Amino acid sequence: MKAAAFVYPWDVNGDPAAPARVAGLGVRQVTLAAAYHSTRTLTPRHPRHRIVTAEYAAVLYPPGDRWTGRALRPCPAGRWAPGDAWGEAARALAAAGLEVHTWVVLAHNSRMGAEHPDTSVVNAYGDRYPWAPCIAQPATRAYLVDLAAEAAVRPGAHGTELESLGWYGLQHLHAHDKTGGVGLGEAGQYLMALCFCPSCRDGYGERGLDPDGLAASVRDALEPLWRGAADDEGWPTVVKLLGEEPAARTRAWREETAGTLQEEAVAAVRAAAPAGFRILLHADPVSHHCGANAGVDPARVLAVADGVVVPCAGGTGLLAPFAAHARERTVIAANFTVVSGMGGSPGTLARDAARARAQGATELRLYHAGLASDGDLDAVREALSGPSAR
């Protein structure tokens, strides 16, 4: 299977050895960040630095004229990725024989939430999630669609992978995060993800729900979870806690809101891209899930996108629902963490790749070539050189 590795521009720029090192892993493609959230990352082999702190969500290239006069617009990166950092890294990687695709993070932006708090998801208690722009709001949707088109189609890119193109919820590692004291489970995460901003309140009303009554019901439903109730069967528990009809109507609102955004963003990228440009979404086949791997309807998303990147750190079980709707050229990329210090298992990559292929995967994604230790990279190189990964 074709394998691709995720890379940041700061892994490459200023390190002349980086492109050959990535190519030497046996990958044919790199997915290079073009728009990315705030982060603190390790660069264990870079000749000039070891830690890079990206202070806010930014585009890693000079943003275009389309943003002039708009309140919501992407910020250029600071000193961690100055100028056209994406373009500089892309040229170096392409010169090493690698096919370069863009990696675009969308509805995950703490700076937007800080500067424009009204754009954020608001939970049933009235708490804002500044890292999570509400994708139901018209201005936010317009921003995300335009950002997808601009950041995806960078000069020299052969395709794109769109991350966080959907709802984001409570599960976010914020600075000095201290939210893990109560295990909410899947049901609690869903209830805490329900948004009550004006756009979502209108959406609930259009589906016959009273927003105030719904918020009260959500708070009531969460009470046993705050007290440590362990019962969690996923969606059936949401139905049990919230009631069948309210649960179904909230889910319908969120699925349609996310689905239409995904369709609009893919269409915008397609319109801006050259022929043959490949568009993938980081996705979860359970449509009510939210986060970096947005919950999607597999049939719906594969009707418009060229494929999906599927999280497989916890196993390969999420691949089959997408494989069931794949067409002849659909890409189903199994995404494995290969950084041991982040819970990855590069030593089992060959075995994991074989299991992924049996579940319908057509390609591999390796997270993350810049973050991994030398030992991890050695294990990846060995796995990709073996027959089970090809």
**356/312 Cα distance (integer angstroms):** 8
**345/343 Cα distance (integer angstroms):** 7
CB 18 within 8 A of CB 377: no
Q: What is the pTM of this model?
A: 0.96
Q: What is the mean pLDDT of residues 348-374?
A: 97
CB 147 within 8 A of CB 75: no
CB 185 within 8 A of CB 238: no
DSSP assignment, residue 45? T
Tell me the percentage of the chain whose pLDDT exceeds 90: 90
Q: What is the DSSP code string of 63-131? A: --GGGTT-SS-PPBP-TTS-SSHHHHHHHHHHHTT-EEEEEEE-S--HHHHHH-GGGEEE-TTS-EEEE
Which tens digit of pLDDT belongs to each residue from 24-79?
999 999 999 999 999 999 999 999 999 999 999 999 999 999 999 999 999 999 99
The model's confidence at residue 383, banded by pLDDT at 50, 70 and 90, is very high
Instruction: Please work out, in degrees rounded to the nearest 5, the angle formed at the alpha carbon of residue 121 by the alpha carbons of 67 and 167.
Output: 80
Q: Which domains does the chain show, CATH number per domain? A: 2-180+253-389 (3.20.20.80)
Which tens digit of pLDDT belongs to each residue from 66-95?
999 999 999 999 999 999 999 999 999 999
Q: What is the mean pLDDT of residues 310-334?
A: 97
Q: What is the mean pLDDT of residues 148-165?
A: 98
Q: Which residues contact 17 (CB under 8 A, 6 or more apart)?
A: 45
Tell me the percentage of the chain whose pLDDT exceeds 70: 96
**227/225 Cα distance (integer angstroms):** 5
